[in-house]
Amino acid sequence: MATHAPTHAHTDHGHGHHAPPKPLWYWWKRAIVWTISGALAGIALVFFFRWAFGFSNLWEPESYYTAIASLAGIGFVIGIGCFDWWWAYLRGKHVDFEDHSLHGAKTWRDYLRPNTDHKVIGIQYMVAVFTFFVVGGLLAELVRLELAQPGFQIADGETYNGYFSAHATVMIFGFVIPSFAGLANYVLPVMIGAKDMAFPRLNALSFWLLLPAGAMLAIAPFVGAFSAGWTAYPPLAVQGTTGQTLFEVAVQFAGASSIATALNFLVTIMTMRAPGMTVWRMPLLVWANATTSGLVVFGTPFIAGSQFMTLFDRVVGTNFFNAANGGDVIMYQHVFWFYSHPAVYIMMLPGFGIISEVLSTFSRKPIFGYRALAFSTVAIALLGFGVWAHHMFVSGMASWLRIPMMITTIIIAVPTGVKIFSWLGTIWNGKIHLKTPMIWALGFIFTFVIGGLSGVFLGTLTTDIALTDTYFVVAHIHYVFFGGSVFTIFAGTYYWFPKMTGRMYSETLGKWHFWLTFIGFNGTFFPQHWLGAHGMPRRVADYDERFADLNLIISLFSLFMVAGTLVFFYNMIWSWRSGPKAPWNPWRGRSLEWLVSSPPSLFNFDAVPQVVGGPYQYGIPGARHAVVYAGDHLGGGELTETELRTVLVVANRTVASSSLLDQVKARAEEGYWRFTIVVPAKGDDHRAADRRLQVALAVLAEAGIDASGTVEDLGPLEAVKRILEEEPAHEVMLATLPTGQSEWMQQDMIDRVRKASGIAVTRVIVRGDDARTAVRSAAVQRIAVIANDTLGDAGLVSALQARADERPLAAVVLCPLSLDGPGWTDDADKVRDEATGRTRAVIQRLQDSGIQAHGEVIDGDPVAAAKIARSDYKVDTVLVCSYRRDSSEELLGQVRAAAGDTAVEHVVVDAEAPAAPSGA
């Protein structure tokens, strides 16, 4: 088997004996050939069997479709190359157990072929599952379109059933379950200090098995959608069409994929933890995934079994569920829910893990009740196997089962409650940083509690009899799946986005995404409690007139979520391509994935790290989670205790100055240092402070230096104390203006910080103009603003602020002044003075809002200014501003010509309205 030796240090993997990498089409050509061959083999096989067994009806279509789908799917994974290594092995060839020829990605092409690197697989998963998310989302909008009014709008009953069935199935098997596999694939091995998963080739197979499953589910609606819901109860499922066949085969593929991943996680967690990582030092995400994997390994075979039986009833003509021939329909529900109740925890526990990570990091506090959280995860999983029949209270099952199942169901709320209280305890009195992942996590707690409460109504037999199969259940499902699982997926995606892509996402857009989704979500699903309680049945295309208004409102609210999703995708794609570079540890996290670069190197660690403490010890003086070793490029393989090698940089207005940043770079050269920058902005504009900080962080990230930072509403002394409580530092670097101008120096800050912290304080003197001038760095976009009359307009400043929030920038303000007459008259002087005044004022405003800016008045027209911007200031972008009434296409054309290959954009400022960038 593919065994990885964790003690084995890789810095570089230039295996001379590997053949050069194969081009992309090699894999895909094979995949196509094998898929088609698989389909043909399926036809041949069924034909042969039907003929050999003397069936009168040789062409029974469903049996052919079953075989075609199964064998084409298997053909695909063989063809794409998942079995190449094993094929060599089983022919008795000499194979390399540590064959890394398919490991790692250099270009995007390496993401489109089988890859054994867990990080590549993690990203492959995330891209695939978000694609399925879009498919599922579109289907959901079709459902809402149909339900916007009573009667039949876009579909008849059967088609409508197809929509919601496909929606649920794609979301559950194509999105939620595999997205947790994807996130954990990326971060879990790093979190436990391993260089990969235990079985990298099996890992690749898991991913590629998912694609046929997704493809079958996506094709299903076109060949007669399955309409029995994601639960696929017989007898309806047995009567269904070809889509139902594809559903049944797809579930087997998705199930096989899950089981393979789960085995892999379990073995990885059990055998590949870094030395020192005892089970009580594992991050809670690891606990969550270990437990979930247990559920998958022991639960998923039951859904496989249930689908095999339905398939046999449909295709082979057996009588499992045919009461006339001694079959038992209710048996299906028992077998199905014995998996599918645990499955709801398969879709929730990893999310719980993510939330624990995020809450603790952004509250800067140790997680409250670590062991309680770990034990409750296990307890939920174990209890989860004993509650399945709460889905069947009215099914006609043995009635003695009802009360016990009700009791176990209610008991399960206890460990869930333990979690909620532990999380609240974690954020209680914490120093909360409302970054996007944190907002999603807080939103999750809110919505999930509502979902848990509606669960108690459903779990109580007496109320469930009234509420079952109504929209109340739909509300419940969505509060726990969407408000629960999906919120955690978003939290995790934002949280690890910097680690996975090496880029920062846009906070502003992240927050837009959250609020649009949050409002849309509650607007869509909260009213459904009411609908259900008043008797609107689920899974029916038409409904009573009295529900009409509310349903229309619901459908409209669902559009908010569509908008939010668009923002999300824009943010992800844009940031991935051109977002600011991410530091190693943007959130000042403690667990191992934050102690390596973003993204981690090919085998994650230069050498196996040593774990020395728990992962969440924020604010505990001297506490450390792990020790990592520095690579040769960072001053040699000697032991470095990362968190003691932290330099705490304290600076406010001076934080983005070149004097300070050069000093930081010089220190970084000396060895394995990391930097925490704190901006004590008590009484100052926090947005402005944050913009400056972002410039500094971007410059350092660009230079490959591990730095993270935070703005604190404290004075310098308190800020230093506060940060040192959270993480010990080796020294403090204090940047101030020259003595005469510096308030901090007047307050004798150097000495006071030294006394308070007990560690060395280095002072960096920054001249005033240095603090105001932009650093030259690829990370900082340089923008020339060419404007005259509009300079005084607030619209211009806010347009620049919005840009600065997107990515760090520095501005050069150029005020072109072409005087018609002679330049020495009093009039001309006056005009020039006014222009200078306007320029100065706008520069001051920009500086005040945290944007480094300077500028000048230019004798000449905008074209001349554009030339200067390009040749003297070497800017990346030229912004031409004008009032709407003045804008002239002709002038713009000339400016474009003068600017050469520098991008030119036009900002129209309406005298009344705020500025809006215009593409036209």
Partner 1 sequence: MAAEHTATVSSHGDVAAPGRGAGISQGMLAMILFIGSEAMLFASFFTAYFMVRYNIAENDWPPIKDLATGERFEPPVLGTGVNTAFLVFSSFTVWYAEHRLKHGDRKGLERGLIVTMLLGATFLAVQINEYVHLGFTPQDQAYGAAFYTLTGFHGLHVFVGLTLLWICYLRIKRAHDFTPQWATPLGAASLYWHFVDVVWVFLYVVVYLI
- For the sheet with 852-859, list strands across it: 852-859, 809-817, 781-786, 877-883, 903-909, 916-918
Give residue for tokens 């829910």. 337
Q: Which CB sits closer to ligand HEM, 183 or 473? A: 473
Task: Give the x/- contact pattern for partner 1 in 190-229, rule: CB under 8 A.
Answer: --------xx------------------------------
Site size toward partner 1, by CB under 8 A: 66
Q: Where are the alpha helices (DSSP H) in 398-544?
A: 402-427, 436-459, 461-467, 471-480, 487-501, 507-533
Choices 332-340, 597-605, 751-759, 822-830 (CB under 8 A): range interacting with partner 1:
332-340
Q: Which CB sits closer to Cu ion, 90 or 414? A: 414
- Does residue number 54 form part of the binding site for partner 1 (CB under 8 A)? no
Q: Which residue is nearest to Cu ion (CB)?
A: 341
Query: Which is it for strands 674-680 and 852-859: parallel, antiparallel or unpaired?
Result: unpaired
Task: Give the x/- contact pattern for partner 1 in 280-299, rule: CB under 8 A.
Answer: -----------------xxx
Which of 89, 526, 570, 576 binds partner 1 (CB under 8 A)? It is: 89
Choices 318-326, 350-358, 718-726, 851-859 (CB under 8 A): range interacting with partner 1:
318-326
Which of 409, 555, 558, 591 binds ligand HEM (CB under 6 A)? It is: 409
Which of 24, 88, 456, 607 binds ligand HEM (CB under 6 A)? It is: 456
Q: 3-state class of 15 per DSSP?
A: coil
Phi, psi (deg, nearest 5) at residue 802:
-60, -40
Task: Choose the one of ligand HEM, Cu ion, partner 1, none that binds residue 464, judging by a C-beta under 5 to 8 angstroms depending on kind.
Answer: ligand HEM
Which of 54, 91, 577, 890 binds partner 1 (CB under 8 A)? It is: 91
CA of 55: how far to CAs of 51, 58, 59, 242, 322, in Å? Answer: 6, 6, 9, 21, 22
CB-count burial class (<10 Å; 0-12, 13-18, 19+) for 261: buried
Task: Choose the one of partner 1, ligand HEM, Cu ion, none that binds residue 347, judging by a C-beta under 5 to 8 angstroms depending on kind.
Answer: ligand HEM
CA of 351: how far to CAs of 130, 348, 515, in Å? Answer: 16, 5, 20
- Does residue number 231 form part of the binding site for ligand HEM (CB under 6 A)? yes
CB of 40 to partner 1, least distance (A): 23
Which of 327, 366, 589, 709 binds partner 1 (CB under 8 A)? It is: 327
Q: Which CB sits closer to ligand HEM, 221 or 459? A: 459
- Does residue number 918 form part of the binding site for partner 1 (CB under 8 A)? no
Q: How far is CA 709 from the centre of its chain?
A: 21
Give residue for tokens 């908010």. 560
Burial track 104-141 (b if 16+ CB lie within 10 A, e otherwise): bbeeeebeebbbbbbbbbbbbbbebbbebbebbbebbb
Residues 6+ apart with CB under 8 A from 818: 859, 860, 861
The CB density around residue 913, as the number of other CB atoms within 10 Å, is: 10
- C-alpha span between 753 and 341 (Å, rounded): 56
Task: Choose the one of ligand HEM, partner 1, Cu ion, none that binds residue 198, judging by a C-beta under 5 to 8 angstroms depending on kind.
Answer: partner 1
- Does residue number 447 form part of the binding site for ligand HEM (CB under 6 A)? no
Q: Which CB sits closer to partner 1, 13 or 29? A: 13
Choices 269-277, 420-428, 510-518, 642-650 (CB under 8 A): range interacting with partner 1:
269-277
Helix (H) or strand (E) holding 337: helix 329-346
- C-alpha span between 740 and 750 (Å, rounded): 15
According to DSSP, residue 273 is labeled: P
Do you know the residue count of the chain?
920
Task: Choose the one of Cu ion, partner 1, ligand HEM, none that binds residue 852, judging by a C-beta under 5 to 8 angstroms depending on kind.
Answer: none
The CB density around residue 82, as the number of other CB atoms within 10 Å, is: 23
CB of 404 to ligand HEM, least distance (A): 14
| Residues within window 670-689 making contact with Cu ion, judged by CB under 5 A | none
Choices 305-313, 346-354, 465-473, 706-714 (CB under 8 A): range interacting with partner 1:
305-313
Which candidate, 770, 777, 779, places its Cα nearest to that of 852?
Answer: 770
Q: How far is CA 503 from the centre of its chain?
A: 12
- C-alpha span between 197 and 199 (Å, rounded): 6
Largest CA distance in the chain: 110
Task: Give the x/- contact pattern for ligand HEM in 307-346, rule: CB under 6 A.
Answer: -------------------------------------x--
Q: Which CB sits closer to ligand HEM, 398 or 465? A: 465
CB of 409 to ligand HEM, least distance (A): 5
CA atoms within 13 A on the CB side of 43: 6
- C-alpha span between 393 and 402 (Å, rounded): 6
- C-alpha span between 792 and 839 (Å, rounded): 8
- C-alpha span between 315 and 62 (Å, rounded): 6
Which of 313, 464, 606, 731 binds ligand HEM (CB under 6 A)? It is: 464
Q: Which CB sits closer to Cu ion, 201 or 341? A: 341
Which of 167, 201, 341, 674 binds Cu ion (CB under 5 A)? It is: 341
- Does residue number 20 form part of the binding site for partner 1 (CB under 8 A)? no
CB of 275 to partner 1, least distance (A): 7
Task: Choose the one of Cu ion, ligand HEM, partner 1, none that binds residue 740, judging by a C-beta under 5 to 8 angstroms depending on kind.
Answer: none
- Does residue number 322 form part of the binding site for partner 1 (CB under 8 A)? yes
Choices 300-308, 321-329, 335-343, 371-379 (CB under 5 A): range interacting with Cu ion:
335-343
Choices 44-52, 333-341, 579-587, 701-709 (CB under 8 A): range interacting with partner 1:
333-341
Which candidate, 678, 706, 441, 513, places its Cα nearest to that of 594?
Answer: 706
Report angle CA 641, 642, 646 to the nearest 5 degrees. Answer: 120
Which candidate, 210, 13, 203, 28, places its Cα nearest to that of 121?
Answer: 203
Which candidate, 889, 893, 855, 887, places its Cα nearest to that of 872?
Answer: 855
Q: Which CB sits closer to partner 1, 193 or 437? A: 193
CB of 229 to ligand HEM, least distance (A): 7
- Does residue number 144 form part of the binding site for ligand HEM (CB under 6 A)? no
- Does residue number 458 form part of the binding site for ligand HEM (CB under 6 A)? yes
- C-alpha span between 642 and 674 (Å, rounded): 7
Residues 6+ apart with CB under 8 A from 811: 782, 783, 784, 785, 800, 846, 851, 852, 853, 855
Which of 402, 435, 476, 513 binds ligand HEM (CB under 6 A)? It is: 476
Question: Distance between terminal CA atoms of the chain?
Answer: 60
Q: Which CB sits closer to ligand HEM, 383 or 775? A: 383
Which candidate, 248, 234, 436, places its Cα nearest to that of 320?
Answer: 234
| Residues within window 364-393 making contact with ligand HEM, judged by CB under 6 A | 390-391
- Does residue number 413 form part of the binding site for ligand HEM (CB under 6 A)? yes
CB of 412 to Cu ion, least distance (A): 9
CB of 383 to Cu ion, least distance (A): 11
| Residues within window 380-439 making contact with partner 1, judged by CB under 8 A | 398
- C-alpha span between 200 and 99 (Å, rounded): 10
Beta bridge partners of 650: 678, 734
- Does residue number 485 form part of the binding site for ligand HEM (CB under 6 A)? yes
Residues 6+ apart with CB under 8 A from 34: 75, 76, 78, 79, 80
Q: How far is CA 891 from the centre of its chain?
A: 44
- Does residue number 401 form part of the binding site for ligand HEM (CB under 6 A)? no
Binding stretches for ligand HEM (CB under 6 A): 231, 344, 347-348, 390-391, 409, 412-413, 416, 452, 455-456, 458-459, 464, 468, 473, 476-477, 480-481, 484-485
Binding stretches for Cu ion (CB under 5 A): 341
Binding stretches for partner 1 (CB under 8 A): 1, 3-8, 12-17, 89-98, 198-199, 259, 263-264, 266-267, 270-275, 297-302, 304-306, 308-309, 312-313, 316-320, 322-323, 325-328, 330-331, 334-335, 338, 398
